Every structure is written in C-alpha cells, then in structure tokens.
Amino acid sequence: MTVETIQNPGAAIAAGQKLAIADCDIHPSPKSVEKEVFPYLEKRWQDHYNTYGLLLRQPYQNGPAYPKGQPDAARRDAYPPNGGRPGSDLAFMQTHHLDRYNIQLGILNPLRSGQGLQNPDFAAAYCKAVNDWQIAEWTSKEPRLKGSICIPYEDAALSVQEIERRVGDPNFVQAFMLIRTSEPMGNRRYWPIYEACAKNNIPLAVHAFGFGGSPVTGGGWPSFYIEDMVGHAQSAQNLISSIVLEGVFERWPSLKLIIVEAGFAWAPSLGWRLDRVWRQNRHELPHVKRPPSEYMRQNVWYTTQPFEEPDRRSHLKDTFEWIGWDRLLFATDYPHWDFDDPQRIPLPRADAETRNAFFLQNARDLYGV
C-alpha cells in the first residue's frame, strides 16, 4: 500500500485527505423488474414484457451478444449481502461504494432501460418507467445520486417528450443514450433530441453499448468479447465524427456531449484526423465552419473509466494536455468488473487544484450541481 501511494500522488490525496469525488458512471439495477419497474409501466406494456421480453437488435433473449468477463459483468464483491443483482441495493451501495470513496456526486446510468428496443412505443414506455424508478428508489432517497433521463433515442419525437417531461426536475442531470445507434448520431433523425437538450441546457451523455444492429466493426462481427469492449472506442469515434461533420455543434453550440465508458486517449488523434479530412473536403462540408477539433474541445467531455494505462505515465500526461484536463470526468463504472479505483488509477502528475477538478469540480461545473 505504501508503494502504491508513493507511485500515485492521486492516491495520497484521495486516501489521506479524503478528497471528494464525483463518479460519473454508476450502474443501478432494479431488484426485480416486476416489483420496481412495473409500478410505472402501463398494464399493456407489463403484458408485453411478460409475453415477449425485451427484444433488441441482438441474437439472444437474455444476456449479451458476447459472454462477459464475469457473471453479470460485475465485481465479485458487489453482490448485496441481502440478495439481488450488483447495484440493486442502495444501502449496500452507500457503504460499499459512496462512503468508502467519499463520493459526493454519483451519476446513475441505467443500462437495461428500454433503450434500443425494437418496438419504439415499448421503448418509450419502458424508458419512462425506468426514469420514474430512478427517482423512487434512488435519487429521492440519496441526495448524492443524480439520475439520467433515459430516452428511446431511435424515435426522436418520443425522446423529446421524455426530455420535456423531466425538464427542471432536480433528480436528473443529463439525458442518456447508448453509443451504438442504428444510424450515425449526427444523422438528422436524431436532431430533435439535440435541440431539446440544448434548449433546456441538459447535457447529453452517450454510454458504451447499444443495439443499433450494425456489426460492431466496419469489417463485420468480431469473435471476442474483448473486441466488443475495445470497440466502444471506435464506435465513439464514429459518433463524434458524425456529429461534428453533420454540423450538430454548429447548429447547437451550447450542446454538451459526454462520452461515457468508451475511453478518451483516442480523442487527440481523432481530432487531428478529422481536421485533415475537413480541410480536404471543405466544399462537401460548408456547414462545418471550424476545424472539427475545435468543436471537440468546446462541446465534448469524456469519462475516464476504463482508464488507459500506458507503461509510462508521462505519455498519459501528454494525452491529458491534448484533450484538456477540464474535459475529463472521473468515473468508476461501479459495480462492473472493470471498475476503476480512484486511488489506483495512474493519474498523470498535476497540482492539487487540477486533481480536484478532475475528481470532482469538472463534473460539478458541467452538471451545475
């Protein structure tokens, strides 16, 4: 432990001085869909759920396309002692996670929320129910936790309804999508979502995974879970390319986009490449007024889990500086197996104020809480 502390100045701060932390990616689950989500779901959709389940654009009725690295993708120590899935017990999450790391602000990102369901009406109803559930079971009981407005993003009109239903509700700090949409995110079919977010000053988080139906690489379906997981970084680059080159940030300059659980170290090279491509194809892109990297610097944030780990920490310092320390948001991904411990990530060396911004203040500034 002493060695770890010496290697990691971030650890000394977090452990020794009880640095307050914002965790921008926590995954809550219902103890039981029937008990916790059904109360907010119309009878029709309860019957639908019981008859067909959650049909996504993926092969299996239950479980992911690729078997995870651990059961339920969870830490072995994250199962609540009173039973239930990891992330389903608030009292256990409080002691096991929030108190332990002095987490002052935790952003809830529900994953089985109805997003990506084939039936758009069911997706809308399920998302609404999951949002109501977040208030009832989590944010109303624990002020450190804030919810995400899950939207049925493949249908923009229904998504806007859900966003507008939650405007001004302090239980929520962001709208929430998944990265693997059915068309690139800059596509016009999604624009009403961006309009609603920008108009209401609601940041838009886009989390790894999703069910768009396209192969997860441009060259088809890979064989392994590791390729699926690493591939979220490529999907995130595809979505940023699309959203910048379609001119979304030119149209809604105040839109705040947060890339969640898809890495960050790829962002500088993406910016350099997009700037080149933009210069080469200016006449195709008259609606993109500035180099793409400038929009990225102004409109995009990144959560850091799973934290990239080069052999040399100085390399990551370059990366942080190229992206901008103010763009990076600490996240743990609790309760998942690839959890990042704030005391163990190889954070580049920085002064106390910068570290505080990274662990807490950037998120407070972004979310205004």
Partner 1 sequence: MPAPPPGAIDCDLHPAVPNLKALLPYLDDHWRDMVVQRGVHELDSISYPNNAPVTARQDWKPATGKAGVDLDRVRAEALDGFRTDLAICNCLYGVQLLYTEDMAYAFARAVNDWMAAEWLDKEPRLRASIVVPPQNPDYAAAEIDRLAGDKRFVQVLMLVMDEMPLGRRRYWPIYRAAERHGLPIGIHAGSSYRNPVTSVGWPTYYAEDSAAQAQAFQSTLSSLIMEGVFAEFPDLKVVLLESGFAWLPAHLWRLGKFWRGLRMETPWVDRHPMEIAKDHVRLTIQPRDAPPSPEDFERLMTHFDSDEMLLFSTDYPHWQFDGDDALPAGLSPALAEKICRTNPLATYPRLKEIVA
Point out which residues bind partner 1 (CB under 8 A).
69, 179-187, 210, 212, 214-227, 229-231, 233-235, 237-239, 241-242, 245-246, 263, 265-266, 268-270, 272-274, 276-278, 280-281, 284-285, 306-311, 315, 318-319, 322, 337-338
The amino acid occupying position 283 is: H
Q: CB neighbours of 29 closer than 8 A, spacing ≥ 6?
A: 84, 85, 86, 87, 88, 110, 111, 112
Shortest gap between Cβ of 310 and partner 1 (angstroms)? 5
Is the omega angle on the peptide bond into residue 170 within 30 degrees of 0, that is, cis? no
Nearer to partner 1, 163 or 244 (CB): 244
Q: What tokens were used for 157?
A: 């009109």
Nearer to partner 1, 133 or 264 (CB): 264
Nearer to partner 1, 52 or 221 (CB): 221
Shortest gap between Cβ of 239 and partner 1 (angstroms)? 6
Evaluated on CA atoms 246, 165, 28, 364, the torsion sign reads positive
Shortest gap between Cβ of 363 and partner 1 (angstroms)? 22
Shortest gap between Cβ of 365 and partner 1 (angstroms)? 26
350 Cα distance to chain centroid = 25
Task: Report the C-alpha gap between 24 and 3 in whole angstroms.
Answer: 28
Shortest gap between Cβ of 244 and partner 1 (angstroms)? 9
Nearer to partner 1, 57 or 112 (CB): 57
DSSP codes joined into one string, 257-302:
EEEESS-STTHHHHHHHHHHHHHHTGGG-TT--S-HHHHHHHHEEE
Is the omega angle on the peptide bond into residue 86 within 30 degrees of 0, that is, cis? no
Shortest gap between Cβ of 276 and partner 1 (angstroms)? 6
Nearer to partner 1, 142 or 318 (CB): 318
Nearer to partner 1, 234 or 356 (CB): 234
Nearer to partner 1, 202 or 316 (CB): 316
Shortest gap between Cβ of 362 and partner 1 (angstroms)? 21
DSSP state, residue 117: B
Q: Of 357, 340, 347, nearest to 10 (Cα)?
A: 347
Q: Of 184, 211, 204, nearest to 60 (Cα)?
A: 211
